[in-house]
Amino acid sequence: MPNSDAHNSVGLVSPCRARFEAAFQLLNGSVLAEHELVYETYGELNAAGDNAVLICHALSGTHHAAGFYAEDDQRPGWWDLAIGPGKPIDTRRLFVVCSNNLGGCDGSTGPNTLNPATGKPWGAKFPQPQVQDWVRSQKLLAEYLGISRWAAVIGGSLGGMQALQWAIDYPEWVEHCVALAAAPKLTAQNIAFNEIARHAILSDPDWCEGDYLSRDIVPTRGVALARMVGHLTYMSADGMSDRFGRELREGSFTPEAESEWVFQVESYLRHQGTRFSAQFDANTYVLMTRALDLFDLAVSDQGDLKAALDKARADFLVLSFSSDWRFPPHRSIEIRDALMAAGKPVTYANIETDNGHDGFLLPNQTYEALLTQWMRRVGPT
Amino acid sequence: MNRHDLNTVLSWVPLGSKVLDLGCGDGAFLKRLCEERSAVGVGVDIDPDNLVSAVSKGLDVIQEDINEGLNCFTRHRFDVVILTHALQELTHPHLALERMVHIGEEAIVSFPNFGHWRCRTHLGLTGRMPVSKAMPRSWYDTPNIHFCTVKDFEALCSDLRIDIIERATIAGAAQNWLGKWWPNLFASSAVYRIRRSAH
């Protein structure tokens, strides 16, 4: 835990586990006889229970949103930027909950946990969850924690979509909703990128039809390649030029030089891919990208986004990031316009940044100021 | 700059109205509308710092360029759409006016009157574009790219089939009665309540 972070960090945290023994039926009809969700909380739930905030993670996110696991831990949770004492999501007055989605690979019931029916890892046999399933499972978690209403449900990317789904599935539960770098549904291009990622995994010889865990191998090459493609879509062209340019990490541009060339950007992507493949389950990656593909906020309203969002009772904050080409600003504007057409209170801004889709995870003065100021209306005053 | 026009605008907003404030700036005026007129307000501005200030006041704001046509409001109805001292900064003031009376039952517009005698004498005597305390920038770097006079504005409303419901003029204390009787010459700024013509 770097000292510089100590003053406004939630500090040392540890994950908790909730076990649900009642059968849980997924949207696709499959039933989990029992399941577990792993989660973290920061801050204190007040007596009135009106200061609880739910953070929904993105595609490869986890329940570890803030703080450190050990004193010598160098990397905090994935959204430490926004969560902590004195930060936009201020843990001095808010009780923050973040859970690992069902089907995830960080402790919640998923492909890498044991199927009680067989005693072996679920693997590719784990049923396909959808965003609505995650929302419903998080509602069980909320009830387990003694929460009956969220002061806010907040998320970026897939997490933003999940936050929106919360707002329309359980309107009376969601007082405020924050959707960052989100979209009402995926485009053909979005699905295509997900398919490339899945194809990378499925064509790895170590994939073994998804049954690699019981053979004690991991399709790391496939997962690494999937992550490289995914990661590329999270960055902007300008951001990459600024950060890597055409710099070489190995080799030389001089004509007489005979060497292998490794550009900085190659080295970076390889590193991201390798690091990710060592910790992320291939089946989960396939399931999560599929859940993204299937997501459509207006699916039960014949594609009418206004009708879908009309059900919500929340105040909304919708933010897009100018250089995001995965879910570009106009996708957030679709959400914003549907909310306004439905007469919902909404604040919208397009944050000027070179950080691309990752903009919602990275420091930016306007972004942090807007989120901080808007969050002041969340929870007891 | 004294913004006496704002008091007039405030008094014209019916209690409890749904208000859209175009170019809401830091939201101070919209906040007043919410507090003093029980308005339910939405602000529109393009400047990030203004958005942060407005949000810090508890307001809902939309970051949007008014010049882009305000298409996001096509399916949304407001009781009153307000544009104070920003008309002259727009690329297409006439399109904005048409849009305003389309999305609002009524619109309230205020602008500095370029027909004011000080502007006329400045231009007439010095032969240079007027620069004043209220309009301190030179012609080449001013955001005010579409100045008009009271007469110009009323002619445009007539062309656009926009009805003028009410007009108020702002003039210096000594010239107040002159501003009333001869607005094009003596009003330093003008405030209009307008709506789409029923005909």
Tokens standing for A78? 């994935």
User: Which has the closest alpha carbon to A182: A167, A197, A172?
Assistant: A167
My answer on whether A311 and A194 are in the same domain is no
* A157 labelled catalytic: yes
Domain end position, chosen among A254, A275, A294? A294
Residues in chain A closer than 8 A to B73 (CB atoms): 340
CATH class of B4-114+144-196: alpha beta
My answer on whether A154 and A225 are in the same domain is no
Q: Do A346 and B60 touch (CB under 8 A)?
A: yes
My answer on whether A134 and A169 are in the same domain is yes
Q: Domain of A286: which CATH number?
A: 1.10.1740.110
Task: Say which range, A205-209, B112-116, B154-158, has the weakest mean pLDDT.
Answer: B112-116
Q: What residue numbers bound the domain in which A132 lies?
A: 1-185+296-381
Beta bridge partners of A348: A318, B62
Q: For A137-169, write each residue's pLDDT tens digit.
A: 999 999 999 999 999 999 999 999 999 999 999
Q: Do A349 and B63 touch (CB under 8 A)?
A: yes
My answer on whether A278 and A162 are in the same domain is no
My answer on whether A22 and A123 are in the same domain is yes
Task: Fill in the amino acid letter for A182.
Answer: A
Closest-CA distance, A335 to chain B, in angstroms, reads: 11
Between the alpha carbon of residue A67 and those of residues A42, A97, A152, A161, A379, the distances in Å are 9, 13, 20, 24, 22
My answer on whether A144 and A194 are in the same domain is no
My answer on whether A193 and A328 are in the same domain is no
User: Quick one: pLDDT band at residue A31, thresholds 50, 70, 90?
Assistant: very high
In the stretch 71-130 of chain B, residues with CB closer than 8 A to chain A read 72-73, 75-76
My answer on whether A207 and A275 are in the same domain is yes
Q: Do B62 and A369 touch (CB under 8 A)?
A: no
**How many CB atoms lie under 10 A from the CB of residue A26?**
18
* More reliable by pLDDT, B171 or A195: A195
Query: A153, A177 in Cβ contact below 8 A?
Result: yes
* More reliable by pLDDT, B183 or A51: A51
Given a cut of 60, whether residue A354 has pLDDT beyond it is: yes
Domain coordinates of chain B in residue numbers?
4-114+144-196
Given a cut of 80, whether residue B72 has pLDDT beyond it is: no
Q: For A67-125, write each residue's pLDDT tens digit.
A: 999 999 999 999 999 999 999 999 999 999 999 999 999 999 999 999 999 999 999 99
* More reliable by pLDDT, A371 or B122: A371
Query: A340, A346 in Cβ contact below 8 A?
Result: yes
My answer on whether A212 and A160 are in the same domain is no
My answer on whether A243 and A306 are in the same domain is no
* pTM, 2 dp: 0.95
Provide, rounded to the nearest whole percent, the portion of chain A with pLDDT above 70.
98
Q: Domain of A48: which CATH number?
A: 3.40.50.1820
Domain end position, chosen among A259, A294, A329? A294
pLDDT in the model for residue A220? 97
User: Quick one: pLDDT band at residue B75, thresholds 50, 70, 90?
Assistant: low
Number of domains in chain A: 2
Report the Cα B134 to chain-centroid distance in Å.
15
Provide, rounded to the nearest whole percent, the portion of chain A with pLDDT above 90.
94
Domain end position, chosen among A294, A321, A345? A294
My answer on whether A250 and A375 are in the same domain is no
Closest-CA distance, A320 to chain B, in angstroms, reads: 11
Task: Say which range, A209-213, A282-286, A335-339, B140-144, has the weakest mean pLDDT.
Answer: B140-144
> How many residues are recorded in chain A?
381
Instruction: Indicate which residue of A137, A157, A236, A320 is catalytic.
Output: A157
Given a cut of 90, whether residue B199 has pLDDT beyond it is: no
Considering only the beta carbons, identify the residue of A336, A345, A373 that sits closest to B72: A336
Sign, Cα dihedral of B9, B12, B17, B20: negative
Tokens standing for A298? 């207006």
My answer on whether A283 and A320 are in the same domain is no
* A106 labelled catalytic: no
User: Quick one: pLDDT band at residue A255, thresholds 50, 70, 90?
Assistant: confident
ipTM, two decimals, is 0.93
